[in-house]
Structure 1
Amino acid sequence: MSEVQTRSRMRFLPSGSALHKLSALITLLLLILAFSFTSPAFLSVNNGLTVLLQTAVIGLLAIGMTMVIITGGIDLSVGSVLALSGVVTGLLIKAGLPVVPAMALGVVAGGVCGFVNGLVITKMRITPFVATLGMMMIARGVALQLTGAAPISRLGETFGALGNGSFFRVVEMQANGFPKVIFPGIPYPAVLLLVMAVLGAYLLQRRQIGRHIFSVGSNEEAARLSGVDVVRTKIWAYTASGALAGLAGMVLMSRLVTIQPNEGVMYELDAIAASVIGGASLMGGVGSISGSMIGAFIIGVLRNGLNMAGTSAFIQQIIIGVVVIGAVFIDQMRNRN
């Protein structure tokens, strides 16, 4: 076969990343089908909206985690940064600042933590695993110290709007004077996740920073020789991951209408799992936001379906751990091929 014919055939063959994403999508559909048989209420509108709400936080974390993983790094601090961002917001609201500016500053606090991660990794040349592990402990410790490990409550109805509000909610007043919900509406967190996923995909696929992120993850030295500012690119990715962790914290704490400094424990593992299940390679250079969203919904549907089936939380951790190991194994096989 000539070289031209070989290139022509390769153009029409699906890439390993596309096949991984397709297999993840098929897995998601099979999970939905299986759980629909185990529980009649699984396919109900209310349960579907519950899955959207549960997946929104994981999805937001997974967007930032995917960018970091594509650079060849890892961010173990997102769960603790999520909690610290919430604590900063809660304290600012208690100090008299309006909710929206307080939430914005909470997201900024998350971005600052990510920026520090990037600086430590690039300037001090500490491996991402160790650097973000340190930030995980620091952010959690600061959150607990600022609050005395106690929750911050009585933050007002406005604070709960982001996590509990919805678009197109239809409520009908009954003859007895009590409201009846006809359609619960599309939750704000689900719309926010969609907007951030589209923005993240646009940045990765259409903007220069996205090309730089992929080039750094594929071959850092080649990227440097090609004129890519490796330090700036890595700092940008970790800052974005921190800011998205802060945004996820706003959604989660708003749903609870209370600031919990102990929230976010093990969330970094869910974010990593969503990214890897969706096709991101821990070796760097491979990944997509759409794949990570599929991975996030796999975890969300899995948790929801197992809960409805009465499976204990411990068994759920075991099952998700097995799924992650399987996804990483497939990734390693893909890299070998």
Structure 2
Amino acid sequence: MTAPAEARRLRFLPSGTSIHKLSAVLTLCLLITVFSFTSSAFFSVNNGLTVLLQTSVIGLLAIGMTLVIITGGIDLSVGSVLALSGVVAGLFIKAGLPVVPAMGVGVLAGAACGFVNGFVITKMRITPFVATLGMMLIARGIALQLTGAAPISRLGEAFGELGNGTLFRIVDMQANGFPKVIFPGIPYPVILLAVIAILGAYLLQKRQFGRHIFSAGSNEEAARLSGVNVDRTKIWTYALSGGLAGLSGMVLMSRLVTVQPNEGVMYELDAIAASVIGGASLMGGVGSISGSMIGAFIIGVLRNGLNMAGTSAFVQMIIIGVVVIGAVYIDQIRNKT
């Protein structure tokens, strides 16, 4: 076979990333099929919206985590940053700041934590694992210290709008005077996740910054020699991860209509699992937002299906742990081939 013919043939062969993403889609379809037999309510509209709502927080975290993993790093602090961002927003609301600006300050607090992570990693040359582990403890400690480990409540109805509001909700008023919900509507967190996922994919695939993220993760030295400011790229990538963790905190705390400084524990593991299941390589240089969304929905469907099947929370932890190990093992096999 001639070289041009061989090149044309290889161009149409699926890449390892495509195969990994396809296997993730098949896994998601398999889980949906299995759980549909375990519970008749699994395929209901309300449960479908519940899965979307539950996945929105992990999905937002997974987008930021994917960006970090592509650079060859890791962010173990997102769960604690989520809690700290919620606490900051709650305290500002209590101080009299309107809800929307207060939430904006909370997101900025998350981005600031991420910026510090990036600075420590690039300028102080601390490994991402240690740097973000330290931030995980610092952010959680600050959140607990500021609140005395007590929840912040009575934040007003407007605070719960982001997490509990819906679009296209259809309600029919019956003859007896009671409303009947025809369609519960699309939750705002789901719409927010879709918008952020589209923007994240656009950033990675169409913008120079996205190409720099891939370059830094694929070969850092080669990226430097080609003119990429690797340190700046990493700092802003971690800042994005922190900002998205802050946004996740706004969504989660809004759903609860209460700020809980203990929320977000172990969420970083779900975010890492979603990213790796979706095809992101812990070695760096490989990953996609679409794959991470598939991974997030696998985690969400798995948790929802197990809950409906009456599986205990402890067994769920075991199953999720096995899934994480399996995903990383597949990633290692892929890197060896």
TM-score higher than 0.5: yes
How far is the alpha carbon of 1:189 from its aligned partner?
0.2
The whole-number CA distance in structure 1 between the counterparts of 2:219 and 2:4 is 27
Equivalent in the alignment of 1:230: 230
1:126 aligned onto 2:130:
no
The whole-number CA distance in structure 2 between the counterparts of 1:45 and 1:107 is 31
Equivalent in the alignment of 1:95: 95
Q: Secondary structure at 1:172's aligned position in 2?
A: strand
1:106 aligned onto 2:76:
no
Q: Secondary structure at 2:41's aligned position in 1?
A: helix
How far is the alpha carbon of 1:177 from its aligned partner?
2.2
Q: For each residue in 1:58-112, what CA deviation from the matched residue of structure 2 results, as whole angstroms up to 9, or x when unmatched? A: 0000000000000000000000000000000000000000000000000000000
How far is the alpha carbon of 1:41 from its aligned partner?
0.3
The whole-number CA distance in structure 2 between the counterparts of 1:275 and 1:19 is 15
TM-score (norm 1): 0.99
Q: After TM superposition, which residue ranges in structure 1, 4 or more long, deviate above 4 angstroms?
A: none
The one-letter amino acid paired with 1:130 is V
Equivalent in the alignment of 1:79: 79
The one-letter amino acid paired with 1:10 is L
The whole-number CA distance in structure 2 between the counterparts of 1:261 and 1:168 is 32
The whole-number CA distance in structure 2 between the counterparts of 1:188 and 1:292 is 20
The one-letter amino acid paired with 2:35 is F
How far is the alpha carbon of 1:221 from its aligned partner?
0.3
The one-letter amino acid paired with 2:132 is T
1:264 aligned onto 2:264:
yes
TM-score (norm 2): 0.99
Q: For each residue in 1:46-65, what CA deviation from the matched residue of structure 2 results, as whole angstroms up to 9, or x when unmatched? A: 00000001000000000000
Cα RMSD after superposing both structures: 0.6
Q: For each residue in 1:112-147, what CA deviation from the matched residue of structure 2 results, as whole angstroms up to 9, or x when unmatched? A: 000000000000000000000000000000000000
The one-letter amino acid paired with 1:116 is V
Q: Secondary structure at 1:40's aligned position in 2?
A: coil
Question: Structure 1: which 5+ residue stretches go unaligned?
Answer: none
Q: For each residue in 1:276-326, what CA deviation from the matched residue of structure 2 results, as whole angstroms up to 9, or x when unmatched? A: 000000000000000000000000000000000000011111111111111
The whole-number CA distance in structure 2 between the counterparts of 1:127 and 1:297 is 30
How far is the alpha carbon of 1:9 from its aligned partner?
1.4
1:299 aligned onto 2:294:
no
Equivalent in the alignment of 2:40: 40
Equivalent in the alignment of 2:171: 171
Q: Secondary structure at 1:237's aligned position in 2?
A: helix
Report sequence identity in percent: 83
The one-letter amino acid paired with 2:8 is S
The one-letter amino acid paired with 1:148 is G
The one-letter amino acid paired with 2:288 is S
The whole-number CA distance in structure 1 between the counterparts of 2:170 and 2:268 is 36
Query: Aligned runs of 1:38-77 on 2, under 5 Å?
Result: 38-77=38-77
1:202 aligned onto 2:202:
yes
Q: For each residue in 1:242-301, what CA deviation from the matched residue of structure 2 results, as whole angstroms up to 9, or x when unmatched? A: 000000000000000000000000000000000000000000000000000000000000
The whole-number CA distance in structure 1 between the counterparts of 2:305 and 2:207 is 38
The whole-number CA distance in structure 1 between the counterparts of 2:82 and 2:132 is 13
Equivalent in the alignment of 2:4: 4
1:280 aligned onto 2:280:
yes
Q: For each residue in 1:205-237, what CA deviation from the matched residue of structure 2 results, as whole angstroms up to 9, or x when unmatched? A: 000000000000000000000000000100011
The whole-number CA distance in structure 1 between the counterparts of 2:179 and 2:142 is 43
1:137 aligned onto 2:99:
no
